[in-house]
Structure 1
């Protein structure tokens, strides 16, 4: 076991380097980098005031060469690309994710600021999905082929087929606009700090209800059908027939014999789903409900070519994904001791 874990940890290093190198190379060929955006702002500013808002823009001559050199040095583009990549990897090895070009904040600070929104959306989606999907999948497996199974399958698949942002628009129009039962934007009210403990809880749940509903609707289908198929596969095995032949009730057969084996593929996915909930980037939902989370941060950093944010968050999320995958694999041994990594 120790040798397997050490091998997996060592394999993470070339994987991380490969992901960072590929992204870094692509970035070098993407037009409209930070320097170009600076020049565009200088030209726009020159049209409305003296010297382009302090950017030393000189009309057709462009920006002063000395000033342009300073800007390139500020963004680190005065060095060759290989040197910049090695420097970036060295920073990431110390878990220094750098500083945003445009927001004048450390990438760690930006992630910490946006994380509460993503945690709220991700964790509620995770818990509600599993609390409903697993019991529903078990009920569908026990009643396979019945009217209940057919109706719930249709409902679940319809929910899966409707995109989350489309459902979000409908919820906003009906419950936020026409009926005005829920707020249209934000995670809390402006007077949130003035409320008592219960008032804060109610206000938070009031704001989070619509975006979580929009995200949860499509999350039921996969877990529900996985649970159903897993239970059906176990129910049809020989040991279940033997248990029934010994006179055990259906409840005993289901909960004492089938349950543990059938939940193996579901339980082993818990670490990835749970950790992923902290970094769920629901861009469209966040934009629709005006929630400033990691999804919106990632999108804006790509649009603005804020490379430290793009590469820093990529490094962090890739590392967390690799560690989570390792934990998921180790859960197989915890759930089913028959699994051997050799």
Structure 2
């Protein structure tokens, strides 16, 4: 018991130096990039005098050394302040929170669909290993794994939005729609959600198929599986009651990493489908050189990855108590 508590405490302690290192590297890399938001504003306005640009940099604290800017940023983070978006003219935290519901709805829909369908296909492929069905599932997963997200999104738009007109092309709601009630609003959002969620889920679905199939095949030949069959249990009961449970650790690992890393994929999908989430916000921040906003989004997504890794470690301890006895 003490070993498990010590392991959990050690993993919690590692969040602090990990987060600090991420903030330091992200801050330095973004500050080393040429140009800033003042250059963008000056370019859009048709030009500005050097005196005006120097005054604006002094106003926003961009004229002091990088190490002083970093110290000020760390002090702000201690007070839960992610800074101010000069481009959007509002706090970065408020911007992220305003776009978070759209990204959560897209990401959760994609990960749930990928998890359920991918695991089921992986189970079927392992159950009928070497069959035609196994081959078809393997081909499908290979195609989904190798196809770029943006190409899938564009293909779905051309087929289902432009040709068949089954789903909207972009956005989260119909522009100018007058909703009679909350249900009609929810249905409209759902129609807009289907194509981007499927595009985002296809890559992860393919990973689930591969991981589930390989994990289950490793467990199939173990002694406890033969014992379960010898007791007269049906094959599907053996699969769900014994094999899948023992093959769950890799699936949990992938799920944790995917949830933490969904933002990278959502940048592409949200841009293609015009989905107003954090990924689209990051895309706009890059082109507007809004480094405060971009750094805040990067910090948020990085912290999400660190947090999900911690959750996965805790689940490992719950599923396999032996893990708590050693530190990695």
1:256 and 1:180, CA in 2 relative to 1: closer, same or farther beyond 3 A? closer
Q: Give the drift of 1:232.
A: 1.1
Structure 1 counterpart of 2:167: 182
- Corresponding residue of 2:12: 9
Q: Tell me the TM-score normalised to structure 2 length.
A: 0.90
Q: Which residue of 2 aligns with 1:18?
A: 21
How far did residue 246 of structure 1 move? 4.1
Post-superposition shift, 1:125? Answer: 0.6
**1:319 partnered with 2:303:** yes
Alpha carbons 2:260, 2:301 under 8 Å: kept: no
Aligned partners of 1:270, 1:26: CA distance in 2, in Å? 29
Q: Quick check: 2:285–2:293 contact (8 Å CA) kept in 1? A: yes
Q: 1:25 to 1:109 in 2, by over 3 A?
A: same
1:30 maps to what in 2? 33
Give matches, 1:136-151, under 5 Å.
136-151=121-136
More moved, 132-141 vs 168-177: 168-177
Structure 1 unaligned segments of length 5 or more: list them.
46-56
SS of 1:299's equivalent?
helix
Cα displacement (A) at 1:334: 1.1
2:59 matched to 1:74?
yes
Work out whether residues 34 and 75 of structure 1, in 8 Å CA contact, stay in contact via their aligned partners in 2: no
Q: Is the Cα–Cα contact under 8 Å of residues 83 and 91 in structure 2 kept in the other structure?
A: yes
| 2:90 matched residue in structure 1 | 105
Three-state SS of the structure 2 residue aligned to 1:340 is helix
Residues 33 and 274 of structure 1: CA distance in aligned 2, closer, same or farther (over 3 Å): closer
Q: Deviations over 1:212-264 (max 9, x none)?
A: 22222222211011111111111111222233334444234323322311222
CA distance in structure 2 between the partners assigned to 1:268 and 1:100 by the alignment: 35
CA distance in 2, matches of 1:289, 1:145: 38
Q: C-alpha separation between the residues in 1 aligned to 2:204 and 2:33?
A: 34
Poorly superposed stretches of 4+, deviation over 6 Å: none
Tell me the CA shift for residue 267 of structure 1. 3.1
3-state SS of paired residue (2:322): coil
The answer to whether the 8 A contact 2:23-2:299 is kept is yes
Could you list the per-position Cα deviations for residues 134-180 of structure 1 after superposition, in whole angstroms to 9, with x for gaps in the alignment?
11111111111111111121122223222221122122122211222
1:336 aligns to 2:320 (yes or no): yes
The CA RMSD measured in Å over matched residues stands at 2.2
Distance in structure 1 (CA, Å) of the matches to 2:311 and 2:131: 38
Asked whether the equivalents of residues 122 and 276 of structure 1 are also in contact (C-alpha less than 8 Å), the reply is no
TM-score, length of structure 1 as denominator length? 0.86
The whole-number CA distance in structure 1 between the counterparts of 2:33 and 2:256 is: 35
User: Does the aligned pair in 2 maintain the 1:102–1:306 contact within 8 Å?
Assistant: yes
TM-superposed deviation, 1:197: 3.2
Write the distance in 2 (CA, Å) between the matches of 1:281 and 1:224: 19
* 5+ residue gaps, structure 2: none
- Larger RCO of the pair (alpha carbons < 8 Å, separation 6+): 2
5 Å-filtered alignment, 1:138-177, equals: 138-177=123-162
